[in-house]
Amino acid sequence: MKMLPEKCALVWWIFVGLVLGFVCAELDFNNDLENSQKFQSIPTTVKTFENDTVLLPCTLNTPFRYVRWHRDDVALVDSRHPEILPPDRIMLWPNGSLQVANVQSEDTGDYYCEMNSDSGHVVQQHAIEVQLAPRVLIEPSGLTELPLGATFEVVCEAQGVPQPVVDWRRNGHSLGQGASTGNRQSHITEIKSRSQSGLIECFASNGVGEPAVAGVYLHVLFSPEVNLPQSVVYTKLGTRAHLECIVEAAPAATVKWFHHGLPVPLGTHYSSHETELQSNRSLEHYVNGVRHMLVIKNVRNADMGQFECRASNRIGARIASIELTGRPMPCIFKINPGTQSSTSHVLVWQTESLLPIMEFKLKFRQIPSNNITRQIRTNWTELTIPAQATNGD
């Protein structure tokens, strides 16, 4: 006796399954669509949003015997079988219309209303399109490091109803659209410059809600670039001298100092310092710029000559040479128009030196005038001129 309710339930579900299978088997409306002019309602495509309530009309000009609905190939409700409950959120109105409450994305589809009356059997088609705000997935994501010369492909998968339009941006500047396959779009970058470092973003918009965005940071790796504020440093014995080189690299470079091809021994006589520089973070977010300084605390004769700033990372290496010298700076000639004549010229020059200048050597030669057609080669004349305290003439 205790098993009787379970048997009844089993029989009930078998009955429901048979009836539902019978209903589904009868759903073939293709030959009835031309009779839609017998409807008082008109075919409707409802574009709506999630959680809204939609009413699909289905009314005839004459009374009907029964009405039944299905979505695509799925039976929803049949007025002849009130014992079969419709799916959740589905309700059949007395006039034959169908209400779908709290619509979800799976409710998108074509809906068919079949009515039977004294005038015959007719079908009307409706549709629900649930509008969905865009969503995007980007691959790769996070941070990607690639060297100059590499190819970087980013794939963006955009979903939404209607299908979103995708736009690419790098550091806030539009890159246009990429190659598209279905709802997947790719953008390929040939890495030719370190300035291509930064944030690459995929923007998806379809007019529903806010645009969706996903991004990946591209870190362009490159061998060190070495710049010298001074390629020649003028000094004198017994003073303190500073040699500088500015190194930009990604990843960060290791810098070593050499003198006449040998490593500089750091200690009491030589010391080195590093200072990180502020770079343009908006364009080169990951570029490491560092000022490297070699300090010679008490210049000796042996310190004169060529020094090298050698910078290296896993991408490559670069060398820049700096000369430490006690000689005077190059002379600069000045124009003194009031002292010129057709037979004489007064030459004025200026230089700077950290040590007393003993003498100057002046070389000059005659240049033929423009009205001489045959070029005459003249020799240089050299003069040795004792130095004055602050200038020579």
Q: Are both 154 and 234 inside the same structural domain? A: no
Q: Are both 240 and 170 inside the same structural domain? A: no
The pLDDT value recorded for residue 360 is 76
Q: Are both 38 and 100 inside the same structural domain? A: yes
Lowest mean pLDDT among 247-251, 300-304, 341-345: 341-345
Q: Are both 295 and 263 inside the same structural domain? A: yes
Q: What is the pTM of this model?
A: 0.66
Q: What is the pLDDT averaged over residues 141-158?
A: 94
Cα–Cα nearest to 73, from 40, 26, 36: 26
Last residue of some domain: 167, 188, 220? 220
- Asked whether residue 12 is assigned to any structural domain, the reply reads no
Question: What tokens appear for 301 in the block?
Answer: 């004769």
DSSP 8-state class, residue 60: B
The pLDDT value recorded for residue 7 is 38
Continuous segment of H or E residues that includes residue 97:
none
CATH of the domain at 262: 2.60.40.10
- Asked whether residue 284 is assigned to any structural domain, the reply reads yes
- Look at residue 313 and tell me whether its pLDDT is greater than 80: yes
- Look at residue 33 and tell me whether its pLDDT is greater than 60: no
Q: How confident is the model at residue 386 (pLDDT cuts 50, 70, 90)?
A: confident
Residues 6+ apart with CB under 8 A from 214: 136, 137, 138, 141, 156, 201, 202
Residues 6+ apart with CB under 8 A from 178: 156, 166, 168, 185, 186, 187, 188
SS3 of residue 44 by DSSP:
coil
In this structure, the strands spanning 212-227 and 142-147 are parallel
Q: Are both 111 and 42 inside the same structural domain? A: yes
CA end-to-end span of the chain:
133
Q: Are both 237 and 317 inside the same structural domain? A: yes
Q: What is the pLDDT averaged over residues 224-246?
A: 95
- Asked whether residue 241 is assigned to any structural domain, the reply reads yes
Lowest mean pLDDT among 10-24, 40-54, 201-215: 10-24
Q: Are both 154 and 249 inside the same structural domain? A: no
The rounded distance, in Å, linking the Cα atoms of 277 and 204 is 37
Q: Are both 257 and 312 inside the same structural domain? A: yes
The pLDDT value recorded for residue 75 is 94
Query: What range defines the domain where residue 55 resides?
Result: 28-131
Q: Are both 249 and 320 inside the same structural domain? A: yes
Q: What is the pLDDT averaged over residues 202-225?
A: 94
The pLDDT value recorded for residue 350 is 75
Q: Are both 243 and 171 inside the same structural domain? A: no
- Look at residue 2 and tell me whether its pLDDT is greater than 90: no
Cα–Cα nearest to 294, from 274, 320, 318: 274
Q: What is the pLDDT averaged over residues 136-155?
A: 95
Last residue of some domain: 131, 152, 181? 131
Question: Phi and psi dihedrals of 301, rounded to 5?
Answer: -60, -35
Q: What is the pLDDT of residues 44-98, one digit of tens each?
A: 999 999 999 999 999 988 889 999 999 998 999 999 999 999 999 999 999 999 9
- Asked whether residue 207 is assigned to any structural domain, the reply reads yes
Q: What percent of the chain has a predicted confidence (pLDDT) above 70?
A: 81
According to the 3-state scheme, what is the secondary structure of 293-355? EEEECCCCHHHCEEEEEEEECCCCEEEEEEEEECCCCCCEEECCHHHCCCCCCCCEEECCCCC
- Asked whether residue 64 is assigned to any structural domain, the reply reads yes
- Asked whether residue 5 is assigned to any structural domain, the reply reads no
- Asked whether residue 16 is assigned to any structural domain, the reply reads no
Q: What percent of the chain has a predicted confidence (pLDDT) above 90?
A: 60
Question: What tokens appear for 41 in the block?
Answer: 């309602």
Q: Cβ(218)–Cβ(224) under 8 Å? A: no
Per-chain mean pLDDT for the chain = 84
Last residue of some domain: 108, 131, 154? 131
Long-range contacts of 264-269 (CB under 8 A, 24+ apart): 264/294, 264/307, 268/297, 269/296, 269/297, 269/298
The pLDDT value recorded for residue 362 is 80
Q: What is the pLDDT averaged over residues 115-125?
A: 89
Q: Are both 320 and 345 inside the same structural domain? A: no
- Asked whether residue 36 is assigned to any structural domain, the reply reads yes
Amino acid residing at 299: V
SS3 of residue 159 by DSSP:
strand
Q: Are both 321 and 339 inside the same structural domain? A: no
Number of folded domains that form the chain: 4
Long-range contacts of 341-350 (CB under 8 A, 24+ apart): 346/393, 347/393, 348/391, 348/393, 349/391, 349/392, 349/393, 350/391
The pLDDT value recorded for residue 26 is 47
Q: How confident is the model at residue 297 (pLDDT cuts 50, 70, 90)?
A: very high
Amino acid residing at 231: S
Q: Cβ(138)–Cβ(155) under 8 Å? A: yes
Q: How confident is the model at residue 363 (pLDDT cuts 50, 70, 90)?
A: confident
